[in-house]
A and B are shown apart, each in its own frame.
Chain A
Amino acid sequence: MIEFSEVTKSYSVGTHALRGVSMQIEDGEFAFLVGPSGSGKSTIIKLITGELKPTSGTVHVNGYSLERIRKREIPYLRRTVGVVFQDFRLIDTKTVYENVAFAMRAIGAREGEIRDRVPYILELVGLENKSRRHPTELSGGEQQRLAIARALVNNPSTIIADEPTGNLDPARSLEIMSLLQEINNLGTTMLVVTHERDLVERFGKRVIAINEGLVVHDGMDGYYRV
């Protein structure tokens, strides 16, 4: 579960990125986080992944209190939150298989577990036949699938997708969103940050809209106004 309570975040340059954000995303929920550039979306993601600490208020993510989390606990928080980025952030020198296995090795998984789980995840995202390819040999949609596989492989309770379709054409965008919905159907909490109004409206899920550091809309109908 993700819970923000009266969260503010100010940067040393004097910018007030968040000005009292409160919201709650339940386990297994699917929500879109929308808002214009500079509205505070990235700050919310960074607070969830422990890259930032709130200036005031409380942030709870999957049992961790972010306002008083210790540095050495952050890796363990991140294992509960898989992140998918717009620019994929894959390691080009590793194969598809290795990119996914790498995430498992990073948390100390055994080789046997890796050999069992990676093919299963690659099959889930439809890349089972491309495990020996390198990311540069894949299309944009496939690279994003790979990024999703990597985020998913450690079985996190939450996935945050930051503009996951920003670099894709409409058909591939729809595919990726459908994949994220499938993953959500399996029980993973999903928070998708996006600019794409069409997609948001098409999926008709909960929408949290942010503007100038405040939640300006929080509704279940897929419609929003910022």
Chain B
Amino acid sequence: MKVTNLGYLMKEGIRGIFLHGFMSFAAVLVTVACLVIVGGFSALVYNVNIMVEDLNKTNEILAYVDSDLTDAEARSIGTRINQLPNVFKAEFKTRDVALQEFVADHQNDPAFGGLVPDDLRHRYVIVLEDNELMHETVEKIEALGGIAKVNAAFEMAEGFITLQNVLHIASITVIAVLLVVSLLIISNTVKLAMYDRKDEISIMKMVGATNGFIRLPFVVEGFVLGMLGAMIAFFILWAMYNLLVNRLAEVDTLKLFSFVPFVQLLKPMVATFAGAGLFVGVVGSWTSIRKFMDV
């Protein structure tokens, strides 16, 4: 193939889109539908993941300070706890505050009326970055001087970790299946488009066109259609996502669900959609045309 032909072949690719308008429309429509489904599900999974992570962060560790320490000494431990790896934040809580909370938690039950702050210890409420490393972090906190005891809900943390893992596996499986199904549907649509033009391909072969010459317009066409489908799907998803999040915010007065703004998903979504559009367009047309080349 000569470079002088490139312009002509590009033009032929673009011309082919309009010439076979219905097939082009079908290919774009299928790409849009598949990408909106895959993208929508991925966005949902991403948000659910973040919600579970946030929920996990409510699983706090309590580190009780040795009662022999002075208030100043007790407060100084906080710096060392915050410096430990995997500690997201450690908040100091005095025994007075702890008592108030304890009594409030028990609805001012008179049975606890005799309690005085000195019956309790100063404490740190610690949130971890990764609860999978809870055991190691608790050991490190216990090893710090001045910590009398650490209370951690290991079982709850493990429960969350299992939930996250199950979610991960389930979402990856569903996304992979959706992606494969989408690719098959799109590839079949491209094949139909090729079948529509098998006579044209056989004439090109008969007059001595090289495979590269025959393929390039189809690949250009596939590229344009794939990218167009990806772009439309992206904007549809963006609009749908914002609509859904706004509606949910109106209904969900208890703030049970928190969805990230679409801007946060922008980069991975653009990259994924562009990649998928490029892949289904170029690879789809490249492989589909192969069976018509053996003439």
Contacts and interface: CB of A to CB of B under 8 A. Distances in A.
Interface in B1-32: 1-2, 4-5, 8, 19
B205 interface: yes
Interface in B156-207: 199-200, 202-207
B202 A107 contact: no
Contacts of B202: 89
Nearest to A110: B4
Best-surrounded residue of A72, A77, A89, A90 (most CB of chain B within 10 A)? A89
A125 B207 CA distance: 18
A149 to B, nearest CB: 12
B19 A108 contact: no
A209 B84 CA distance: 95
A208 B115 CA distance: 119
Contacts of B286: none
Contact of A150 (B1, B19, B205, B207): B207
Nearest to B214: A106
Contacts of A51: 295
B213 interface: yes
B208 interface: yes
B76 interface: no
A154 B208 contact: yes
Contacts of A77: 208
Contacts of A103: 207
Contacts of A110: 4
A83 B4 contact: no
Contact of A49 (B1, B2, B206, B209): B206
Contacts of A76: 208
Contact of B208 (A89, A91, A106, A111): A106
A36 interface: no
Nearest to B206: A83
On chain A, which size bracket covers the interface?
20 to 34
A106 B209 contact: yes
Nearest to B9: A105
A48 B295 CA distance: 13
Contacts of B203: 89-91, 102
A12 interface: no
Contacts of A106: 204, 207-209, 213
Contacts of B2: 108
Contacts of A83: 206
Contact of B209 (A72, A91, A107): A107
A154 B207 contact: yes
A105 B5 contact: yes
B287 interface: no
A51 B8 CA distance: 27
B210 interface: yes
Given A105-B5, A108-B4, A78 B295 contact: no
A102 B213 CA distance: 11
Interface string A102-127: 11011110110000000000000000
B195 to A, nearest CB: 16
A89 B199 contact: yes
B200 A75 contact: no
Nearest to A76: B208
* 5 shortest interchain CB distances as A-B pairs: A106-B209, A79-B208, A78-B208, A108-B2, A103-B207
Interface of B: 1-2, 4-5, 8, 19, 199-200, 202-211, 213, 295
29 contacts: A49-B206, A72-B210, A75-B205, A75-B208, A75-B209, A75-B210, A75-B211, A76-B208, A78-B205, A78-B206, A78-B207, A78-B208, A79-B208, A83-B206, A89-B202, A90-B203, A91-B199, A91-B200, A91-B203, A102-B204, A102-B207, A103-B207, A105-B5, A106-B207, A108-B1, A108-B5, A110-B4, A151-B207, A154-B207
Interface of A: 49, 51, 72, 75-79, 82-83, 89-91, 93, 102-103, 105-108, 110-111, 150-151, 154
Given A76-B208, A79-B207, A111-B4, 17 more contacts: A75-B211, A77-B208, A78-B205, A78-B206, A78-B207, A82-B207, A89-B202, A91-B203, A93-B19, A103-B207, A105-B5, A106-B204, A106-B207, A108-B1, A108-B5, A110-B4, A154-B208
